[in-house]
Amino acid sequence: MPRMKSFRPRQRALLIALLLLAFALRLHRLGADSLWYDEGVSALLAAKPLPAMWAHTAGDIHPPLYYALLHLWTGLAGRSEFALAFLSLWFGMAALPLAAQIGRRLYGPSAGLLAAFLVAISPFAIWYAQEVRMYTLGSFLLLLLLALSLALLRRPRPRPALFVGIALLAALALWTLYYSAFALLALNLFLIPWLFWRAQARLWPWLLAQAAALALYLPWLPIALRQAFDPPVPPWRDPLPWRDLLLQAAREGSVALAYGQTLDPAQWQPLAALILLAALASWRSRARAATALLWMASLGPLALILAASLLFTPLYHVRYLSLYAAAFPILLAAGLLHLARSARGRWLSLLIGLLLLAGSTLSLRNYYGDRFAYEAADDLRGAVRLIYDRIGPGEALLIDAGYLYPAFLYDWPGEIAWLGRLSDLDQAPAPDAGLIVALAGHVDGDPGIGWGDPASDFYAISRAETAARLTDLFARHHTLWLLRGYDTVNDPQGFIRDWLADHGQLLHDQVFPGQSFIRVQAWRTTQTPRRALPAQVQPLVQEFSGGIRLLGYLRDPAAPPLRLTLFWQRRGAIDRDWKVFVQLLSAQQEVIAQDDASPLRGLYPTSRWQPGEIVESTFILRLPAPPPPGSGPFSLITGFYDEGSGARLPLAAGGDAVQLEVWEGR
């Protein structure tokens, strides 16, 4: 961490103010949105014991350092979305004074402070400082490694501690994210020739430091090589023609560096290009070698990723540029200050600064206001909440793609009787044991997916076995809920979607905000009405005058919230669509909590019930803070009413509400 005394007192005060600004921008709405899939994986792995986390990560596609740190952090701070994301915020904040110090040493105090300001307001940096992933940790380690590499250029006789630090940071970066290797390769492509021609005495210590970093990485290296050359996951991206790939990278990359990821690259690329040109003015500084190294650290890894994508397998994604972007604000600060040295350039520098500030403000407004409209943000929390609120006893859940389950587990507030592969459905307990969650595999996928490991999150399954297991699910459960996300990767031909459409009756279909089009569906698995109650139902027979009989109820003991499933049967003519009310009343008949809805949340109105059919629907009562003393005992009641007039459906024996339970406490 840079020392604050490198700036004058007023400059230190300004730097502290910039730190507070950066902290406020990164703290705003931290943890407010749902975790998306990758963040759910982070939360799942952080919750595991360290040996189990190591084993799980070995079958995934990332190294374990970040997950280990997150495990230790959540042990202190908890597992809320806010706590999980705060670790990323911390490393994002740590990069700001480091960038300020690099800028000060190379280009002067004004450049250091301007670089700090640019980091503080950067939408690109703010995005990943709020994401529960390893990008800010990797970026901070690489920026610190860059600072030591710059020191190597300046010092004729560097101390051995400098090379020890270089070795440790390079190893830690590799233990954090595989894409750090592109940054290390870019540094070596620059420094090895430079040291060979300018400072051969420093070349061998540099090479020894690289060898030491590799030695520190050896315990994980066999796993990394296997994951790189034989990945256990299905293919995520299709290769692009070289022109399309380069054009996409130029557009996305330039706009991301300048404005983040919430502005349209096609519209904002001209302004982003102008900002890049301003940064190129940094070449006019006296620190030519250091400036060249900064540019190599910023754009060299991207060039290597693009080359690997064209020659081997698709690797490019704009998010990985965030790893290497920390040096760009330093270059931009140097370029803007160089332009400002002349009268004409001063106005140009001011104009570019205002354009940058305006675009960043708009980008942050988009990010804070509607993150779901942009890449890597999905309302999985809302999808899981919908399933929890509506799924009933004896119903099952299928997750497709199955590897989406970490995000589901993070948001699921209830108990799960069994969660496993669809191919292992024969190991699931009986439906009355509780919620059964089946994870779909890669339909007709490569048998090598997941390396054949039965514990892997990824596995291949044939169409025939998928159909057989879906048939088993339909035979065991009268309703099957489907949580869809990334299923076009797992099931590119849509076999599961088509099978459900051919064999089931769609009861519910809802798409949630986000770029992955997370979707929740409910399928009735049988065409014949239910005629018998589940064994665990508490019987309570009450006749309503409108042809409806209440048969019983089932209350989930794992409250709050209070989760109640009601069972009715059609016994005569039903002349309208009645709405159900469920209320928790105090001794003074005040409503403590209430949930009103048509059966199955409007999916199966009472006028469509078949004679003798048993219908069930689940209701959620979100209980407030403990009521004041003396407000109990509490009564749980239910009934029907006409939504238009508000008139309740009377009971045949008198009254208009059925008392289900009475208890003293919550």
Residue 6 has pLDDT above 80, yes or no: no
d(CA 33, CA 382): 10
Report CA torsion sign: 171, 173, 179, 182. Answer: negative
Does the pTM of the predicted model rise above 0.85? Answer: yes
Q: Which residues pair with 550 in a beta bridge?
A: 542, 568
The pLDDT of residue 325 is: 97
Q: How confident is the model at residue 1 (pLDDT cuts 50, 70, 90)?
A: very low
Q: How confident is the model at residue 560 (pLDDT cuts 50, 70, 90)?
A: low
Other CB atoms within a 10 A radius of the CB of residue 13 amount to 12
Q: Are 422 and 439 in contact (CB under 8 A)?
A: yes
Q: Which range (168-172, 286-290, 599-603, 626-630) has the least confidence?
A: 626-630
Asked whether the beta carbons of 525 and 477 are under 8 A apart, the reply is yes
Q: Is 407 in contact with 457 (CB distance < 8 Å)?
A: no
For residue 13, give both structure tokens: 């005060």
Coil, helix or strand at residue 553: strand
Residue count (the chain): 666
Mean pLDDT across the stretch 116-142?
Answer: 98
Residue in the structure block whose two tokens are 């990394």: 224
For the record, the structure tokens of 573 come out as 């003519």
- DSSP-derived letter for residue 378 is B
Spell out the domains of the chain, with CATH numbers in brackets. 4-229+241-373 (no CATH), 387-524 (3.40.50), 538-663 (2.60.40)
Q: Which residue has the higher pLDDT, 601 or 572?
A: 572
Higher pLDDT, 441 or 432: 441
Upper half-sphere CA count for residue 468 (Cβ side, 13 Å): 9
Q: What are phi and psi of 448, to 5 degrees?
A: -80, -5
**What pLDDT is recorded for position 666?**
46
DSSP for residue 514 = B
* Count of beta carbons in the 10 Å neighbourhood of residue 402: 27
Q: How far is it, in rounded angstroms, from Cα 52 to Cα 55? A: 5
Over residues 214-257, the pLDDT tens digits come to 999 999 999 999 999 899 987 777 899 999 999 999 999 999 99
Question: What are the Cα distances from residue 529, in Å, to 49, 473, 478, 508, 525?
Answer: 46, 17, 9, 18, 10
Residue given tokens 């990008």 in the structure block: 135
Q: Which are the contacts of 98, defined by CB distance < 8 A and separation ≥ 6?
A: 1, 2, 140, 143, 144, 147, 326
Angle between helices 81-107 and 328-339 (to 10 degrees): 40
What tokens appear for 170 in the block? 């390079």
Coil, helix or strand for 560?
A: coil
Q: What angle do CA 205, 211, 212 make, to 5 degrees?
A: 85
Strand order in the sheet with 562-570: 538-543, 548-556, 562-570, 614-621
The predicted pLDDT at position 527 comes to: 62
Alpha carbon 435 to its chain centroid, in Å, reads 24
Question: How sure is the predictor about 68, in pLDDT bands with cuts at 50, 70 and 90?
Answer: very high
Using only C-alpha atoms, what is the Rg of the chain? Answer: 30
Peptide bond into 49 cis (omega under 30): no
626-630 average pLDDT score = 71
Q: Under a CB-based contact definition with an 8 Å cutoff, are residues 287 and 105 in contact?
A: no
- Contact indicator for 344, 288 with CB cutoff of 8 Å: no
Integer Cα distance of 325 and 222 in angstroms:
29
Would you call 77 helix, strand, or coil by DSSP? helix
Distance in angstroms (rounded) separating the CA atoms of residues 393 and 416: 12
SS3 of 489-512: the string is HHCCCCHHHHHHHHHCEEEEEEEC
First-to-last alpha carbon distance for the chain, in angstroms, is 52
8-64 pLDDT tens trace: 999 999 999 999 999 999 999 999 999 999 999 999 999 999 999 999 999 989 999
The pLDDT mean for the chain works out to 93
- Contact of 186 with 301, CB cutoff 8 Å: yes
Three-state secondary structure call for residue 595: strand
